[in-house]
Structure formats: C-alpha cells, structure tokens
C-alpha cells in the first residue's frame, strides 16, 4: 500500500519536475512535440494509404524503418557496457552514467517498438502475435525471439532504475541484493538482444549479404561503439546544463570503451571487405552494389563512403590518447562515429540485402517524405522520452525530488 | 530423394510430425499422405479459442470506438449496417484458419460471402475445401517451349483477383539471351516487345511451393504454412504484414499489398477459395497458390490452361500415371538454387 503511495507521489513530483525548466528546455520540448505531431500526422497518411506511402516495394521490402530499428537495438544494448563496471566491478566513476545509459536504453527500445509497428502492414492485427490469444511461432521464427528479448530487456531496464530511484526518492539506500541480480540478467540480456536481432537477418539463406557468420559479432562491436558514443554526447549536454556532476574520468573511461569497440568494428569491416572482394563470388554482388554500384545504380555510394571515411577517421583519432582526452575533439569524434554507424547499420545493411533481388533485378530504394517524417517523428519521441526520464532521474539523484519534502 | 535422410541439418526443435515426407519425385507414393498437419495443433485448439473469446470481451470496450467509425463510414444504413459491423467484429476476432475447426471455417466463409453481398449485392462462391489424401502437387516447366507470350501472367491475374492498379503479378517471365546460359542477372523480366525475340529464350518463375519452405518458418504468427497437398498458402486475415517471409524467400515468390487492391467489380472472379483467390486487403502478403480454388477441384491452374505453347505441366506427384511424373522420370530435370535446401516442387527441363 505504501509503495503505491510513494509511486503515486513520485509520478506527481516528476510531472511537476518535467514541466518546469529553463527557456531552452521549454523550447526543446515544444520542438520535439511539434516534430512528433508532424510524424503522427504522416503516419496517419500511411495508415490511410497503406505502405505504398513509403518508398518500399516488392523488390526492396524493408527500408528506413527496419534500418533504424536495427541500429537502435544496438544503442539499447550498449547501456550494458556502463551497467557492468558500475555495479559489478564497483567502479564508482560509472554510477552517474548508468542511470543515463539505462534511460537511453528505455528510450531506444520504445523507438525500436515504434519503428516495428510503423513498418507493419496491419498494426491493428498485432494481437495475433500475443501468445495464447494469438499464435506465437516460437521457437521457429526469429522474430518471436526478438519480441521476447526486446520486451524482456525493456522490462529489466525499467524496473532496475525505477527501484533505485524510488529508494533514493525516499532517502533510502538501494539494497544491492535486490537490484544486482537484475543487473546481471540485463548484462546477458543486452548481448542477446543484439545477437537475436542479427540472427533475424543472418538466418535467411535467401539473402547472401546477410547470411554471414560475422553479422552478429559485428552488430555487437558497432553497437558498443555507437551506444556509448551517444552516451558521451548526452553526458556532455547534461554536464553543461544541469548541476549533475559527471567527472572527467567517467567520460574518459567511456571513451576508452568506444575506442576499443570502434577498433574491433573496423577489423571486422576489413575482414568482410576482404572476403567479398579478394575472391568475389556470385554472393558478393550486393556488396559490389553497396560499395561501387551496379549498372549505373549508385544510390548508396555517397552514404556508405561517408560512413566508412567517418568511421576510419574517428577510429584513428580515438586511438591517440592525446586527441581522445581533449573533450572538444572527443565530442566531435563521437558524433561522427554515431552517424557513421547509423548509416552502416541502417540502410547500409538493410537495403543491399534486397539489391539485387533474388533474380538479379536491381531496383533502388528512396524513402518518401512520409517515411522520413515518421522516422524523424519517432526519433523525436525517443528524445522526448529520454529527456523526461533523465530530468526526473537527475532531480532525484541531486536530492531535489524527495518524498514528503514539504511536510 | 525422399523422407528421412535429408542432406541438410535441421534441428527440428518442435518435433512436428509433419516435417518430413518429401515424397517429391520418389517412386513410393503410398506412405506419404495423411497423419500430417493438425495433430499438434488439435490439442491446443480449444484453449486459444476460449482465451480469444475472453480477450474479445476485454478489448470490446477498447475497440468500440473503432467499430463505430467503421460503421459510420458505410453508406448502407439500418439493419444492413448493423449486420455489417457485426460481421466486421466477428471477422476481426476470428482465429488462424489453420487452427479453425470445420465449423469455424464454414462460418467465416459464410460471413465473407454475406459481407460481399451486403457491400456489392453479388454472391460469391468461396470454398474451404481441404487437401485431398494421396495428393501432392508439383509443376514442370519446359524451357524449350516457352516463347514469352505472357498469357500465363494475364490468366493468373484474372483468375486470382490481383491488384490491377499496381499490376501485381505472381509469375515473372525472364527473357534470356541465348549463349549465356541461365543468366538471371542479365535477363529482363519486364519486357514490352514482340516475342519470341531473336536469339532469346524464356523462363518463368513463381512461387515454387518448396517442400522445405524458409518463408513459413520465419512467420511470427504462423499465417503461412504448407498444406497437406504441398501448396504453400497464406491466411490473408491472419497476416500482420511484417514481410519477413518476403525477405526469407530466395525465389521472389511473394507479393505484398502495399495499398488496397483494386479489382473492377465486373472482373472479379467469384469462384474463390479461402486460401486462394479471395479478395485481399491492404497490408497483407499474397502469392501463387497453384490456383488452389481450381487445383483442388481437379482442374489445372490458370497459367497451365492459358499457356499456348504447352510449356507448363501441373499434376499430382503421387499419381504414377500423371504427366508430371512422366516428365520427372523421363526428362533431365533440374530446380533452381537447389543448394539452399528448399526442395522446390517446381522442375525445369528441356526437350
């Protein structure tokens, strides 16, 4: 009974907290709201017209939505990189980053789910997937595995920080015996969400571009570069605009993780390129399309080469301690890495899987305005959710939000 | 060529008894049929139905609004509109066709017929005929004979009520240059010139109704499956439109309704099957069903009937006297992308 009361009071207080703020904060939230509404409007068009409102066709049947979904699963998984040292290795440095990381994971997961729903032809029939009332093709379909791991991960990432925050909110110390098991599970779980998502593609013998044993590990490496890179950027903003203290050392440690992951990712990229181009087989044709274009169809060239050059430059810069420890350089490099991996794990991965088609047909894919708007809208939704979560979390951590403060 | 010793490794985690029997072109044809399908599902059949009706009640309140909207959109008023929305309601909550009892199958067919009658004032004939015993359908394509007339495509579109506005076609005819072998990369499946073109030959592809279809494994809701007579079908009302099956198909055999399909009323083929050519809606998959509405009545699929050159042969692989068996036994047949282990029931041969 009491816990419900505390929870109710927390909701009330956090609502109060997130509706107060500086002018910049209000402008930021208003902007996000506007973008979200615009995305919803465009989603309405898509619901009305069907998926023909998007650039997808029978030839390229997954596009921007599934690309973003794939990338964001990685961002969500990356939260674990911070959870692990903070709780298990008792590394105090990371404590501040963990709440932010888990908030980011929650926001990223909700975006993932939104992208999948946006991609559905019949979102109203989604209940067909609910076990027992519908039919859940487990374990045959990797998509059902993905549903399980994503929702499970979402559950863990909501409950663990919620418990910690509720305890802090009441001025108590969280009991490690309660939350450490949850943390351990989430560590394994984070690896599984990204591996399962990779298996989704990897298991298709029909698409040689994806049917590649390196896909899963490469997903992990790139995720652990892009995710923490985003966390560094977020921490930079939080450090600047709130009283929340993030020691330099924390950011330096995270940047170390980014560096190692980016280096591993690059090695895997080289391995893939070697396999595809040293002795090209019939199955290398999608890679040829992606990197060099086929039959004058070159839509992906500017994207992938931007991605690769940014990836290489960022990794090289990160490798040098002097450059990495200069925060101004670090922030720029993290931004570059994030964008590079977004391209690489986004349509650099999904679209070439379909081009050329099973009978060699080369049909290119260009997202439509509706599709782009919905995508941007979902990103705004993620940013909106994250801002709310982070603001509440920070207020509690700073002791600004306390249960029964006034009495 | 047959049952147990498959050349690829499969986990068979679910222990489904209907996994094996690829009686394909094997000589033994008696052991292959019955005791397939259902058994595993039969056991759980009652439970999902009960829970579903519970779910129906729970969500009733939630969806009241949606129902009201769809009712108000209709032009018809009074009793008709009431009946219509009640049909829509029942249809929305119906289960997966594969798991339905015969009774449920009949009632959904009745609802679909009635709903069409209410909307268009015309009577449809929708069948829910099951696969017959000792039947396994297969297809053979004579590459030497095909001249690329595409009559099969036209017949297929008309027979199967495919969307006219997006020109959806199940069959693709690939025009290939002679002397280059089966070079799909350089072939053209979208030509608009007089055929047969000098120095070219033609090859048709469509859904190959694989015996080990990758598409049905990946479906998260089991909206697509292999019937007892080997036809790979889709329950259009159960499909959620994720298009995972499309990505999993190595043969470009599947199509998606990117928008509401349009078939002019006078062109609608009213002789339909629930798993075949009944009218689809937007956001669901569809594909070649070997014209299940025809083949289960003992007729040839529309493409076979329409082909002016006789390059298409369809028949029962379990019938030793069928033409298809004669071809498999006397011609040098081959299948496409056999290395993927999909075991298509679609063979090519040359004279």
Q: Chain B partners of A51 at a C-beta cutoff of 8 Å?
A: 241, 256, 258-259, 282-283
Does B211 share its domain with B294?
Answer: yes
Whole-angstrom Cα distance, residue B211 to residue B228? 11
Query: Residue A91: how many CA atoms within 13 Å on its side-chain side?
Result: 17
* Environment class of B233 (CB within 10 Å of its CB; exposed 0-12, middle 13-18, buried 19+): buried
d(CA A111, CA A64): 13
Q: Tokens 């931007």 map to which residue?
A: A306
**Residue A96 reports pLDDT greater than 80:** no
A175 in a domain, yes or no? Answer: yes
Q: What integer pLDDT is reported at residue B60 of this predicted model?
A: 54
How crowded is residue B259: how many other Cβ atoms within 10 Å of its Cβ? Answer: 17
Last residue of a domain, one of B123, B157, B179: B123
3-state secondary structure of A13: helix
Q: How far apart are CA B124 and CA B278, in angstroms?
A: 9
State how far the Cα of A60 lies from the Cα of A201, in Å rounded to an integer. 14
Query: At a CB cut-off of 8 Å and minimum separation 6, what does A296 contact?
Result: none
HSE (side-chain half, CA atoms, 13 Å) at B120: 14
| CA within 13 Å, CB half, B295 | 29
Which CA distances in Å does A257 have to A73, A220, A268, A313, B194? 18, 13, 17, 17, 63
Comparing A186 with B21, the larger pLDDT belongs to A186
Assign A4 a pLDDT band (cuts: 50, 70, 90). Answer: confident
Residue at A406 is within a domain? no
Q: Are residues B152 and B76 in the same domain?
A: no
Q: Would you say residue A404 lies in a domain?
A: no
Determine the pLDDT at residue B77. 56
Q: Does residue A162 fall inside a structural domain?
A: yes
The answer on pLDDT for B22 being more than 80 is no
H or E, element range at A328: helix A327-345
Nearest C-alpha neighbor of A342 from the set A75, A62, A35, A112: A75
How far off is chain B from A219, nearest CA to CA, in Å?
Answer: 19
Other CB atoms within a 10 A radius of the CB of residue A221 amount to 24
Instruction: Examine residue B33 and state whether it is found in any structural domain, yes or no.
Output: no
Residues in B closer than 8 angstroms to A135, CB to CB, are 48, 95-96, 99, 221-222, 238
- In a domain? residue B129: no
Go through B185-224 and write b for each residue having 16 or more CB atoms within 10 A of its CB, e for each that does not: eebbbebeeeeeeeebbbbbbbbbbbbbbbbbbbbbbbbb
Q: What is the pLDDT of residue A90?
A: 66
Residue A317 lies in a domain: yes
- Same domain for B191 and B331? yes
Does some domain include residue B110? yes
In a domain, B6, yes or no: no
Of residues A50, A130, A143, nearest to B244 (C-beta): A143
Confidence tier at B54 by pLDDT (50, 70, 90): low
Q: What is the pLDDT of residue B13?
A: 47
- pLDDT at site A161: 87
- Residues from chain A that touch B168, judged by Cβ atoms under 8 A, are 58
| B219 shares a domain with B93 | no
Looking at the fold, whether B97 and B236 belong to one and the same domain comes out as no
Contact B241 A122 (CB under 8 A): yes
Whether B69 shows a pLDDT value over 60: the answer reads: no
- What is the sign of the dihedral through the CA atoms of A27, A29, A32 and A34? negative
Mean pLDDT (whole number) for B13-19:
45
**Would you say residue A307 has pLDDT above 60?**
yes
- The pLDDT score that the predictor gives to residue B43 is 43
Q: A6 lies in a domain?
A: yes
SS (H, E, C) A38-62: HHHHHHHHHHHHCHHHCCCCCCCCC
Query: Which residue, among A49, A137, A203, would best test binding to B if mutated, counting the most B CBs under 10 Å from its CB?
Result: A137
**Least CA distance to B95: which residue of chain A?**
A134
Please answer yes or no on whether A129 and B221 come within 8 Å at the CB atom.
yes
Q: Do B96 and A147 touch (CB under 8 A)?
A: no
- Mean pLDDT, rounded, of chain B: 84
Q: Is the separation of the CB atoms in B289 and B208 below 8 Å?
A: no
Contacts B239 to A, Cβ<8 Å:
121-122, 125
Give me chain A's average pLDDT, please: 90
* R_g (Cα) of chain B, nearest Å: 21
Same domain, B162 and B103: no
Average pLDDT over residues A224-239: 91
Give the C-alpha separation, A158 to A79, whole Å: 12
pLDDT tens figures, B242-280: 999 999 999 999 999 999 999 999 999 999 999 999 999
Instruction: Say what the pLDDT of residue B154 is.
Output: 95
- List the single range of A112-116, A119-123, A344-348, B346-350 with lowest mean pLDDT: A344-348
Q: Is residue B339 part of a domain?
A: yes
Highest mean pLDDT among A234-238, B35-39, B159-163: B159-163
Contact criterion met (CB < 8 Å) for B258 and A56: yes
Which of A134, A203, A361 minimises the CB distance to B221? A134
The answer to whether residue B280 is domain-embedded is yes
Cβ(B124)–Cβ(B116) below 8 Å: yes
Of B79, B97, B123, which residue is a domain's last?
A: B123
Q: Which domain holds residue B76?
A: 39-123
Segment A33-58 mean pLDDT = 95
Do B114 and B174 belong together in one domain? no
The set of long-range contacts for B35-38, using a CB threshold of 8 Å and a minimum separation of 24, is B36/B228, B37/B227, B37/B228
Contacts of residues B40-43 at CB distance under 8 Å and 24 or more positions apart, as own/partner, are B40/B14, B40/B16, B41/B98, B41/B99
Nearest to B319 by CA among B209, B230, B207, B204: B230
In a domain, A252, yes or no: yes
Q: What percentage of chain B carries pLDDT values higher than 70?
A: 78
Segment A267-285 shows an average pLDDT of 93
Q: What is the mean pLDDT of residues B146-174?
A: 95
Instruction: Kindly list the distances between the CA atom of residue A38 and the CA atoms of A30, A46, B266, in Å, as whole numbers in the listed order.
Output: 12, 13, 40
A42: containing domain: 2-397
Q: How many whole angstroms separate alpha carbon B261 and alpha carbon B267?
A: 13
Res. B40 pLDDT band, cuts 50 70 90: very low
Give the percent of chain A with pLDDT over 70: 95
Largest CA distance in chain A: 75
Q: CA gyration radius for chain A?
A: 22
Q: Please indicate, yes or no, whether residues B252 and B191 belong to a single structural domain of this protein.
A: yes
Q: Is the pLDDT of residue A202 over 60?
A: yes
Using one digit for the tens of pLDDT, what is the confidence trace for B183-241? 998 899 889 999 899 999 999 999 999 999 999 999 999 999 999 999 999 999 999 99
Same domain, yes or no: B222 and B86: no
Confidence at residue B190, expressed as pLDDT on a 0 to 100 scale: 87
Is the pLDDT at B44 greater than 80, yes or no? Answer: no
The answer to whether residue B18 is domain-embedded is no
CA distance B120 to B160: 19
Give the closest-approach CA distance of B345 to chain A in angstroms. Answer: 17
Residue range B72-85: mean pLDDT, rounded: 69
Q: Closest to B252 (Cβ–Cβ): which among A141, A143, A358?
A: A358
Which chain B positions have a beta carbon within 8 Å of A52's beta carbon? 166, 258-259
Where would I find the H helices in A120-214? Answer: 142-169, 176-202
* pLDDT reading at B67 higher than 60: no
CB contacts of A357 in chain B (<8 Å) are 252
Looking at the structure, tell me whether residues B173 and B43 fall in a common domain.
no
Residues contacting A17, CB < 8 A, separation 6+ = A391, A392, A395, A400, A401
Q: Tell me, what's the pLDDT at A183?
A: 79
Please, which residues have CB within 8 angstroms of residue B57's CB and are 6 or more apart in sequence? none
**CATH code, domain carrying A336:** 1.20.1630.10
> Distance (Å, rounded) from C-alpha A200 to C-alpha A195?
9
Q: Is residue A18 a part of any domain in this protein?
A: yes
- Supply the DSSP symbol for A89: S
A contact test, residue of B170, B217, B241 with most A CBs within 10 A = B241
How are strands ordered across the β-sheet holding B346-349? B312-316, B137-142, B346-349
The CA distance from B344 to A293, in Å, is 32
Residues B246 and B303 in one domain: yes
pLDDT at B41 over 90: no
Final residue of a structural domain among B123, B150, B169: B123
- In this complex, do B47 and A142 lie within 8 Å of one another by their Cβ atoms? no
What is the SS3 assignment for B313?
strand
**Same structural domain for residues B98 and B202?**
no
What pLDDT is attached to residue B42?
Answer: 45
Q: Is A62's CB within 8 Å of B247's CB? A: yes
Looking at the domain assignment, is residue B240 inside a domain? yes
- How many domains, chain B? 2
Interface test with A, best of B218, B285, B341 (most A CBs within 10 A): B218
Q: Count of domains in chain A? A: 1
**What number is the average pLDDT over the span A312-326?**
94
**CA distances (Å), origin B207, targets A208, B180, B291:** 20, 25, 11
């Amino acid at each position: 009974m009491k816990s419900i009361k505390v929870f109710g009071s927390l909701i009330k207080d956090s609502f109060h907290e997130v509706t107060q703020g500086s002018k910049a904060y209000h402008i930021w939230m208003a902007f996000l709201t506007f973008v979200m509404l615009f995305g919803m409007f465009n989603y309405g068009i898509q619901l009305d017209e069907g998926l023909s409102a998007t650039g997808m066709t029978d030839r390229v049947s997954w596009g921007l939505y599934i690309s973003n979904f794939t990338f964001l699963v990685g961002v969500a998984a990356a939260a674990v990189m911070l959870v692990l040292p903070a709780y298990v290795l008792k590394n105090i440095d990371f404590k501040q980053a963990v709440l932010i990381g888990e908030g980011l994971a929650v926001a990223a997961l909700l975006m993932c789910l939104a992208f999948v729903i946006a991609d559905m032809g019949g979102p109203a029939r989604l209940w067909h997937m609910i076990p027992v009332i519908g039919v859940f093709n487990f374990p045959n379909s990797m998509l059902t595995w993905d549903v399980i791991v994503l929702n499970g991960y979402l559950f863990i990432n909501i409950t663990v920080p919620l418990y910690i925050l509720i305890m802090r909110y009441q001025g108590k110390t969280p009991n490690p015996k309660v939350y450490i098991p949850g943390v351990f599970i989430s560590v394994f779980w984070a690896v599984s969400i990204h591996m399962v998502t990779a298996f989704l593609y990897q298991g298709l013998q029909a698409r040689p571009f994806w049917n590649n044993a390196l896909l899963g590990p490469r997903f992990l490496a790139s995720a652990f570069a892009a995710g923490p890179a985003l966390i560094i950027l977020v921490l930079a903003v939080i450090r600047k605009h709130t009283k929340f203290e993030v020691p330099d050392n924390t950011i330096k440690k995270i940047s170390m993780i980014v560096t190692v992951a980016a280096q591993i990712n690059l090695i895997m990229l080289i391995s893939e390129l070697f396999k595809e181009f040293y002795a090209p087989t019939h199955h290398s044709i999608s890679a040829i399309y992606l990197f060099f274009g086929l039959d004058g169809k070159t839509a992906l060239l500017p994207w992938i080469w931007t991605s690769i050059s940014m990836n290489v430059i960022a990794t090289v810069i990160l490798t040098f301690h002097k450059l990495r420890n200069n925060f101004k350089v670090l922030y720029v490099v993290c931004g570059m890495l994030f964008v590079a991996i977004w391209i690489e794990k986004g349509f650099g991965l999904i679209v070439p899987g379909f081009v050329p088609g099973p009978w060699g047909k080369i049909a290119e894919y260009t997202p439509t305005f509706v599709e782009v708007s919905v995508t941007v809208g979902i990103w705004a939704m993620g940013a909106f959710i994250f801002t709310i979560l982070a603001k509440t979390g920070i207020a509690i951590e700073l002791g600004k939000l306390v249960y029964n403060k006034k009495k | 060529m047959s049952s147990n010793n498959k050349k690829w490794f499969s986990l068979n985690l679910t222990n489904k008894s209907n996994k094996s029997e690829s009686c394909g072109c094997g000589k033994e044809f008696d052991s292959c049929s019955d005791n397939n399908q259902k058994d595993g599902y039969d056991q759980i059949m009652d439970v999902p139905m009960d829970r579903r009706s519970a779910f129906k009640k729970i969500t009733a309140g939630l969806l009241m609004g949606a129902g009201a909207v769809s009712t108000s959109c209709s032009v018809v008023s009074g009793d008709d509109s009431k009946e219509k929305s009640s049909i829509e309601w029942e249809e929305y909550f119906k289960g997966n066709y594969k798991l339905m009892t015969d009774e449920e199958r009949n009632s959904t067919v009745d609802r679909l017929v009635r709903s069409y009658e209410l909307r268009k004032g015309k009577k449809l004939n929708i069948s829910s005929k099951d696969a017959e015993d000792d039947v396994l359908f297969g297809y053979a394509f004579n590459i030497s004979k095909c001249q690329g007339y595409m009559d099969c495509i036209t017949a297929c579109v008309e027979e199967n009520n495919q969307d006219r506005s997006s020109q959806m076609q199940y069959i693709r005819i690939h025009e290939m240059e002679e002397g280059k072998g089966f070079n799909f990369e350089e072939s053209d499946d979208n030509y608009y010139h007089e055929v047969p073109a000098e120095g070219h030959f033609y090859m048709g592809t469509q859904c190959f109704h694989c015996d080990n279809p990758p598409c049905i494994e990946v479906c998260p809701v089991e909206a697509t499956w292999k019937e007892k007579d080997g036809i790979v079908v889709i329950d259009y009302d159960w499909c959620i439109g994720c298009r995972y099956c499309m990505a999993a198909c190595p043969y470009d055999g599947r199509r998606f309704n990117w928008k509401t399909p349009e078939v002019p009323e006078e062109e609608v083929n009213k002789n339909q099957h629930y798993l075949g050519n009944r009218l689809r809606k937007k956001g669901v998959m569809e594909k070649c069903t070997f014209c299940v509405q025809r083949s289960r009545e003992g007729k040839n699929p529309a493409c076979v009937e329409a082909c002016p050159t006789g390059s298409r042969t369809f028949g029962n692989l379990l019938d030793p006297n069928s033409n298809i068996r004669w071809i498999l036994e006397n011609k040098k047949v081959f299948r496409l992308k056999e290395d993927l282990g999909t075991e298509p029931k679609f063979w090519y041969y040359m004279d």
